[in-house]
């Protein structure tokens, strides 16, 4: 199997100053993707732009829609057709078929839905078809929406065990300070020993704004910890995809750190919608964080059980100070967890194989 790359293209890259899709920019990116696919690599696109494209399609008809939520849904529904038709025509010129995949956060909650979606995307990639993924804005509601398409791209990269995740935006990469200040430079390679997320966000800003940069950095770091290299780069660079694929210096690169099993990659995507939580004591936290051993979460280390959950549900693990340490798949429900809480000699609530810890 050739190298597998997930590419996220932001709406600011795809759209012109008037908010409409920029076909010239899209054609340039599609040509680059086509060259990589035809060279034996597998590419999955996460593309924004549907809502922006819908503005041109719906036109004055939008004035008939008073509800702002419904208006966005209409924009997404009409714009997705325009977006995909543009991609279809451009990829056809490269001799490549495309497939549309619309998803919502709920698809990552259920292990069954997760595996079904992964199976579909894997089949598309193996067949040489380019999957183009976007959030299903028509049905998504606030609590089930992705933070942005960067988050969706990170989840998909973990799902398909990609070699690289490329986040294309309108900035050259992550700066070590305010780009407007003299001496500020783009960080070529992120070093977790030298660079701290909060420090970089506080000192720097960009066209992304502090909020956008914080989100992008957080996704990049989380994905890299799952064993996937991440690159944040400028989508306007006419040769950006080739540079990324060949490992050339472009944008900011986040080296892959270690690796994670398929189950742990799913748990990393499920940590945002856990159904309950448990609080552990300092001894249990130390055992879980000890990298020299494979520790499961035992009832003896649990001090409190919050919420209701069933066997197989994903639950959060909190430290005594309330910090979220990670999440895992519960082997039994909340009632049994409360009954055996603090007791020795009981079976683990979360087995190590189904445990995901934040760094």
Alpha carbon of residue 5 to chain centroid: 13
Q: Which of 187-196, 238-247, 285-294 has the lowest mean pLDDT?
A: 187-196
> d(Cα 52, Cα 39) in Å, to the nearest integer?
32
Angstrom CA distances, 12 to 86, 96, 169, 314, stand at: 17, 25, 7, 35
The tens digit of pLDDT for each residue in 129-149 reads 999 999 887 766 555 567 688
Per-residue pLDDT, 201: 55
Question: Rg for the chain (alpha carbons), in Å?
Answer: 22
pLDDT at 331 over 70: yes
More confident residue, 251 or 203: 251
For the beta carbon of residue 236, count every other beta carbon within 10 angstroms.
16
pLDDT at 186 over 90: no
Catalogue all structural domains in the chain, each as residue range(s) with its CATH number: 4-260 (3.40.1160.10), 274-357 (2.30.130.10)
Per-residue pLDDT, 60: 75
> d(Cα 198, Cα 182) in Å, to the nearest integer?
21
Backbone angles phi and psi of 7, in degrees to 5: -120, 120
Confidence of residue 198 (pLDDT cuts 50, 70, 90): low
pLDDT at 203 over 60: no
Q: Residue 256: which region, alpha, beta or left (left: phi > 0; alpha: psi -120 to 50)?
A: beta
> d(Cα 102, Cα 100) in Å, to the nearest integer?
7
Per-residue pLDDT, 145: 66
End-to-end CA distance of the chain: 31
Average model confidence (pLDDT) across the chain: 86
The tens digit of pLDDT for each residue in 24-78 reads 999 999 999 999 999 999 999 999 888 878 877 777 787 788 777 787 888 888 8
For the beta carbon of residue 293, count every other beta carbon within 10 angstroms.
8
Question: Which neighbouring-strand residues pair with 135?
Answer: 103
pLDDT at 230 over 70: yes
- Contacts (Cβ under 8 Å, ≥6 apart) of 244: 5, 164, 166, 231, 233, 250, 251
Residue with tokens 């086509």: 34
More confident residue, 170 or 92: 92
What pTM does this model have?
0.83
Considering 89-98, 143-152, 192-201, 249-258, the range whose residues carry the highest mean pLDDT is: 89-98
The tens digit of pLDDT for each residue in 92-124 reads 999 999 999 998 887 887 778 888 999 999 999
Kindly state the average pLDDT of the residues 194-201: 60
8 A C-beta contact, residue 202 and residue 43: no
Kindly state the average pLDDT of the residues 209-237: 83
Per-residue pLDDT, 202: 52
Q: In terms of DSSP H, where are the helices of the chain?
A: 11-14, 23-38, 50-58, 68-93, 111-126, 149-159, 197-203, 209-225, 240-245, 262-270, 282-289, 334-340
The tens digit of pLDDT for each residue in 258-281 reads 777 888 888 887 766 788 999 999
- How buried is residue 176: exposed, middle or buried, by Cβ count under 10 Å (0-12/13-18/19+)? middle
Per-residue pLDDT, 207: 42
Kindly state the average pLDDT of the residues 291-297: 87
């Amino acid at each position: 199997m050739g190298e597998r790359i997930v590419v996220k293209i932001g709406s600011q890259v795809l759209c012109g100053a008037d908010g409409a899709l920029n076909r010239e920019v899209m054609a340039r990116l599609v040509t680059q993707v086509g060259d990589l696919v035809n060279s034996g690599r597998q590419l999955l696109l996460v593309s924004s732009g549907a809502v922006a494209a819908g503005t041109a399609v719906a036109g004055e008809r939008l004035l008939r829609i008073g509800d702002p939520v419904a208006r966005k849904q209409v924009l997404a529904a009409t714009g997705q057709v325009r977006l995909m038709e543009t991609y279809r025509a451009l990829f056809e010129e490269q001799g490549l078929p495309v497939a549309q995949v619309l998803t919502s956060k709920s698809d990552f909650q259920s292990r069954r839905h997760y595996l079904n979606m992964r199976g579909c995307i894997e089949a598309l990639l193996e067949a040489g078809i380019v999957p183009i993924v976007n959030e299903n804005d028509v049905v998504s509601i606030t609590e089930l929406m992705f933070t942005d398409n960067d988050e969706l791209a990170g989840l998909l990269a973990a799902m398909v065990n990609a070699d690289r995740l490329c986040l294309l935006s309108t900035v050259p990469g992550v700066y070590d300070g305010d780009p407007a200040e003299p001496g500020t430079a783009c960080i070529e390679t992120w070093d977790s020993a030298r660079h701290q997320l909060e420090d970089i966000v506080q000192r720097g800003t960009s066209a992304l704004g502090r909020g956008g940069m914080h989100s992008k950095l957080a996704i990049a770091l989380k994905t890299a910890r799952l064993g996937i290299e991440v690159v944040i780069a400028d989508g306007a660079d006419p040769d950006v995809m080739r540079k990324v694929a060949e490992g050339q210096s472009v944008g900011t690169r986040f080296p892959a750190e270690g690796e994670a099993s398929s189950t742990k990659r799913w748990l990393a995507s499920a940590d945002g919608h856990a159904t309950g939580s448990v609080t552990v004591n300092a001894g249990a936290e130390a055992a879980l964080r000890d990298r020299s051993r494979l520790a499961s979460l035992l009832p003896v280390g649990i001090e409190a059980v919050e919420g209701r959950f069933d066997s197989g549900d994903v639950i959060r693990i909190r430290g005594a100070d309330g910090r979220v340490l990670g999440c895992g798949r519960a082997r039994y429900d909340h009632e049994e967890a409360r009954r055996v809480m603090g007791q020795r000699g009981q079976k683990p609530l979360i087995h190590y194989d189904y445990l995901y810890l934040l760094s």
